[in-house]
Amino acid sequence: MRIQIFAAHWGHHELQPQVFIDRAKSAGFDGIEMSLPLDAAQRDDWTRRIADAGLALIVGQWETVFHKDFEPHKAALAELLHNACAARPLHINSQTGKDYFTQEQNRELLDLAADISRQHGVPIYHEIHRSRFSGHPMLLLPYLRQMPELHLTADLSHWCCACETLLEDQPHTLAQTLPHVRHIHARVGHAQGPQVADFRAPESQAALEAHLSWWDEVIRLRKAAGARHMTLTPEFGPVPYTQTLPYTQKEVSNAWELNVAMLALLRQRYAA
């Protein structure tokens, strides 16, 4: 099974497209994960540059977070997913729904995404993320029972934060969830937040080992299922995900450096 590791564009919007693309390629990433402009010319410029660099593309959809009411949220989701599909990415990662929408409303959004995916022939995976339909294990599990075909992006750092644990108390939750995972956001969270200051630090080792065990199991499951490839995106993010020192607001770590270090760890761990 081929392992592909992607550079997260999140936190680097100040860079010109070619600058970021060259940085990702030089670091050794296989592709870029990013949201795309709705403007067709800007979207096509990004996709052309990424393809010319020999990199793959995953499109992220997160902008529906700005639409608090259901009908505008649904309309925005449709527009954003159609736009993402037009770029012909490897797949789309969608932050879908709201934790305060009804189950029926979130199911309507998931059905909409499935229909758009079929129209374009582009897989759409739904991210485990706080405040979305999947923000807590007990929110997500009913959808998995109703929709066995539902595919996920595992960002389990969000559940660590939501549950205030490293999920050691609910192996049954993970056993039901991990078979649905098709993409991994390789960020390390902890019981009080979605991102450790530095996953290489001694105090972060328990959290790192927990996350690695989940990622190992996903990859084992995908290999057993005969999958031809698996994708991961190191996704340590900017402030406020990256912590700052009091008063000075100086970052305690550099997100890009952490993502490149995680790239190296993943390459070594999954080289076989």
* CATH code for position 246: 3.20.20.150
Does pLDDT of 238 surpass 90? yes
Q: pLDDT grade, residue 83 (50/70/90)? A: very high
User: What is the pLDDT averaged over residues 245-272?
Assistant: 95
pLDDT digits (tens, 9 = 90+) for 178-197: 999 999 999 999 999 999 99
Residues 230, 30: Cα–Cα separation, whole Å: 12
User: What is the pLDDT averaged over residues 122-131?
Assistant: 98
Torsion of CA 105, 111, 116, 118, to 10 degrees: 180
Could you tell me the residue range of the domain that residue 148 belongs to? Answer: 2-269
Question: Which pairing describes strands 91-94 and 181-185: parallel, antiparallel, or unpaired?
Answer: unpaired
Terminal-residue alpha carbon distance, the chain:
9
* Number of domains the chain contains: 1
DSSP 7-75: EE-TT-TTS-HHHHHHHHHHHT-SEEEE---SSHHHHHHHHHHHHHTT-EEEEEE-GGGG--SHHHHHH
pLDDT at 271: 86
> Residues 6 or more apart from 160 whose CB is under 8 A from it?
166, 167, 189, 190, 191, 194, 207, 210
What is the rounded average pLDDT for all residues in the chain? 97
Residues 199, 261: Cα–Cα separation, whole Å: 9
The residues pairing with 60 across neighbouring beta strands, listed in sequence order, are 93
Centre a 10 Å sphere on the Cβ of residue 121 and count the other Cβ atoms it contains. Answer: 8
pLDDT digits (tens, 9 = 90+) for 21-56: 999 999 999 999 999 999 999 999 999 999 999 999
